[in-house]
Amino acid sequence: MPISPHRRRAVIALGGNSITRSGQEGTVEQDYRNLEESLECVIELVAAGYEIVVTHGNGPQIGNQMIRVELSKGEAPDLPLDVMGADIQGGLGYMIERVLRSKLRARGLQPRVCCLLMMVEVDPNDPSMKNPTKFVGPFYTEEQARKYESGRGWKVKQDANRGWRRVVPSPDPIGIVERHELTMLLEAGSIVISGGGGGIPVARSTTGELKGVEAVVDKDLSSTIIALNVDAPELFILTGVDRVKLNYGTPEETAVAMMSVKEARRYLADGQFPAGSMGPKIDAACRFIEGGGGRALITDDAHLASAIRGDAGTWITI
């Protein structure tokens, strides 16, 4: 990949707690209040001269949408998972855009913001297609789950000791469909909100036609692909901690300010970063660097601006 001329172009991957905090119901009012706080970091970077793509998670929101679909069965047409993802991507994008426009105007900055629905291409032969592991939707009894398995063709598994749930594939993203449109919006000076929830998974037929896939793509991996596709030198992955920790939760816990890809991969192999928490973020950051990106940062939204100055966060570099 050639060296990017966009020295201050970045993708900001908002963590789930940026929209819905732990323990909250996830009402629209709560989400707006949370966004008022969490999006302040985006404004700081715009003021510093960054061109920005904002991505975000949608776990609680897509779960609630699946519950609505279940409750309306027989009263309204069913919705496949890719269409539900598109609905939520648009709805959350609208909310984020409203908040950003208001904040930009209050700071005397150009309120140029656009929400772009994004399709993320996946390989129809990805191994996860035959071994789905991503839990989605509400909990069921085993009897209910088995009924849906036989009647609807779902794959179901027990989610720890909490009950039974549907599982879908989580294939790796291999490209973004709207690369050209996204680049044009950035060049026009817009903050672009896109790739929400990992994007809408699509696969190409043998004739090149796009078809929706009943799957969920990891949001941070999609953010990596987006950053590489728009030639952004930096990827900022926001989560619930200001710095990555080694030996987390033990007396030997240590915060790390910087690590190389080689070190990060070694820590991953040693089990320092579990698959259910920090592991996917470390993997996404490594893939960004390995794919030709400049550097990746993992921190929380409250410390993003100070992390850019080197006072917080964990940087992963070549």
Residues taking part in catalysis? 16-17, 134, 219, 281
| Token reading at 159 | 């989610």
